[in-house]
Structure 1
Amino acid sequence: MTNEDSFYIGYVSKTRGLKGEVQLFFEFEDYKDLEFDIIFLEVNKKLVPYFIDQIKLHPNSTAYATFEDIDHIDKAQVLVRKKMYLPNDKMPERDPDDFRYTDLIGYLVVDEEHGELGEIIDVQEMPQQFIATVDMDGKELMFPLSDDLILGIDAEEEVLEVDLPEGLVDLYKA
């Protein structure tokens, strides 16, 4: 199994108890739709399979899991901070109409007044809203993804048309 044959889902965040249980943290949005019988952990730049004995998912992007042959905290401790992967064939299918703000990564942002600003390199979920980060000539321009600012989304051309508040772009150009 190589990184090209798999997709990243998160990492082992810490141990729990003395019997080898670990806490998993998911950075994969649809982690509840994943099938867990085996996961691959990145150890020395290689993906190593670990068979799951038990797993209990939680709503806060975490789970508690035990692996076969990991029955003591000392064996589990070496897994902490290891990245987790699943084979590409276990990627859940998404409804084509299920559009998310994170799908905008890679889109070109075009402002009504300033024209092309750059490509969206990140979308973060904050408590009240999503924030887009645009690479604008090496500087990071950030703005909220709110209906008030978005004029249109062209999924075919991967273009996001916006009308950003007056002065926002100028702050980043200085």
Structure 2
Amino acid sequence: MQKEETFYIGYVTKTKGLKGEVQVFFEFEDYDQLTPEIIFADMNGKLVPYFVASYKLQKNSTGYFYFDDLDHIDKAQLLVRKKLYLPLAEKPDRDEDEFRYTDLKGFTAFDETLGELGEITEVHEYPQQFVATVLYKEKEVLFPLNEDFIIEINEEQKLLTLDLPEGLLSIYLES
């Protein structure tokens, strides 16, 4: 399985107990609609399949998983901080007119003051807000995605027009 054939759902935060249970933090918004049977973990750039024995989802974007053949804490420890993926075929359908901040990945970010910032390479969901990542002046910079800063989202041109606070990006450029 190649990464292009999958979608990112989250990562393993920690082990729980001695029998190989792990806690998963979901960065995929509709995690409660997933029915995973096989989860792929990014192990040094290769996607390794893990068969789900059982799982229980929580309301705080987490879940507890047992995987076949991971029956001890030492085996499960290998998965901590590993990114997890599911095959694209398992991605839940949604309405065509439903647009989310995570759909901005691949868009070009343009600030009214600074001009073109670059392509949005990642969109992370945190409890308080979404944050976009852009490679700007050869530095990885982050900025929040919220209604106060977004002027326009042009889906046809894949362009995000922003009015970021003065000095926000200079924090990244000073070092």
TM over 0.5, shorter chain: yes
Question: Are 1:118 and 2:118 an aligned pair?
Answer: yes
Separation of aligned partners in 1, 2:67 and 2:23: 11
Instruction: Give the 3-state SS of the residue equivalent to 1:78 in structure 2.
Output: helix
Contact kept, 8 Å, 2:108 with 2:117, in 1: the verdict is yes
Separation of aligned partners in 1, 2:93 and 2:126: 26
What is the letter of the counterpart of residue 35 of structure 2?
E
More divergent stretch after superposition (7-16 vs 57-66)? 7-16
Separation of aligned partners in 1, 2:95 and 2:3: 25
Contact kept, 8 Å, 1:141 with 1:169, in 2: the verdict is no
Sequence identity percentage: 57
Quote the residue 2:156 is aligned against. Answer: 156
State the shift of 1:164 in Å: 4.5
Aligned residues: 173
Separation of aligned partners in 1, 2:169 and 2:48: 49
Contact kept, 8 Å, 1:15 with 1:77, in 2: the verdict is yes
Question: Are 1:78 and 2:78 an aligned pair?
Answer: yes
Quote the residue 1:64 is aligned against. Answer: 64
- Alpha-carbon distance change, 169 to 22 in structure 1, aligned in 2, over 3 angstroms: closer
- Of structures 1 and 2, the larger Rg is shown by 1
More divergent stretch after superposition (60-69 vs 119-128)? 119-128
- Alpha-carbon distance change, 169 to 118 in structure 1, aligned in 2, over 3 angstroms: farther
What do the CA deviations read for 1:9-42 (whole angstroms, capped 9, x no partner)? 2233322112222222223232222112222234
- Alpha-carbon distance change, 49 to 152 in structure 1, aligned in 2, over 3 angstroms: closer
Instruction: Give the 3-state SS of the residue equivalent to 2:7 in structure 1.
Output: strand
- Alpha-carbon distance change, 171 to 98 in structure 1, aligned in 2, over 3 angstroms: same
Structure 1's consecutive aligned runs of 4 or more residues displaced over 6 angstroms after TM superposition are none
- Alpha-carbon distance change, 10 to 109 in structure 1, aligned in 2, over 3 angstroms: closer
Quote the residue 2:6 is aligned against. Answer: 6
What is the letter of the counterpart of residue 73 of structure 1?
I
